[in-house]
Amino acid sequence: MDLNRIIRGLVIAAVASVLLYVVLAVLADGPATLAAIRLFPPGLFVLMMALAAFGFTLRALRWGWLMRRSGTPVSTADALYLHFTGQAMSVTPGRVGEVVKPWLSREVTGMPMSTGVALLFTERVADLIGVCVLSLVGLTVLGAGGLWLVIGLAVVIGATALVAWPRFHALVLRLLDRFSLTARFTAPVRSAFTVMEGSLSWRTLAAATPVSVLAWGVEGVGFVLCVRSLGFTDVGPAALVSIYAASTIIGAFTFLPGGIGLTEASLAGILVAVGMAAPAAAAVTIVVRAATLWWGVAIGWMALGTRPAVLARLKRSRQVT
């Protein structure tokens, strides 16, 4: 993928996000939404960013653990750098820019790209299972969506078992070898499958998924504090965390950059559905996304700037391969 295109995509996503927040505020009653935003204590916003940063750090430490488990030695400092830089690309369409993280992992530690992509897939599976678990905890209390979440979680687990199954790997490799256009992908795919057999094992996911539950859970705590700061107490903390997690799932199933659009619409929409005033719901949505998604992107770009030599190699690379 062309790095210049990634950067252009990030700029477009940022502009689209600002326009979306303006539209959201106007639809909910612009002056009332701005008034609600002004009610947020600055200290609370800082606390929300700190909670999000704690979650980012947990996932970074997990990335280092996954790398070491796959046979690649990596220091804690390098693991933090590699994960945070990946967050700089989290608002690319379908999050495809996150492949920069495996590329940088190769540059910094020598880990093969195929291994990094496989580990990235492991992260996404663990995150999806973790967020589903958080959603189930409270949405069952609200009496909404519990059955569909159970079905979705079962599908994720079943698909994970299939992708980690050696016979499935052999079938895919035979299909790749059959056609000249795809035969060149056989070697890297075989390497990725070898990593997946271990990284998608139940033992690995059993260790990786609780990290997702905790990391997304602390972001959910920030969301709860944000909602409570506006005096909304009709819904309990567990259900609010689940609302946050559910909106994250909805956004994840789109190829929109960072889930922008659908995540905000679902988050504000669910809050209104459970009784929160529209301007307050819009204000909460804007503040939370700033303290999580965009804060993560900012941390990622700051991390990229801490190693000028690596950043220069990334800039010189016409494509991340």
Whole-prediction pTM? 0.84
Instruction: Tally Cβ neighbours within 10 Å of residue 111.
Output: 22
The encoded tokens of residue 45 equal 């916003």
Instruction: Tally Cβ neighbours within 10 Å of residue 155.
Output: 10
* Sign of torsion over alpha carbons 55, 56, 61, 63: positive
pLDDT tens by residue, the chain, 321 residues: 456 767 777 788 788 888 889 998 888 888 999 999 998 999 999 999 999 999 999 999 999 999 999 889 999 999 999 999 988 877 776 555 667 889 899 999 999 888 888 888 888 888 888 888 888 766 655 555 556 556 666 666 777 667 766 777 788 888 888 887 777 778 877 777 777 777 777 788 889 989 999 999 999 999 999 999 998 988 889 889 988 988 887 776 665 666 788 888 889 988 998 899 999 999 999 999 999 999 999 999 899 889 888 888 877 765 555
**C-alpha span between 56 and 315 (Å, rounded):** 25
| AA letter at 156 | V
- How does 57-86 read in b/e, with b if 16+ C-beta sit within 10 Å? bbbbbbbbbbbebbebebeeebbbbbbbbb
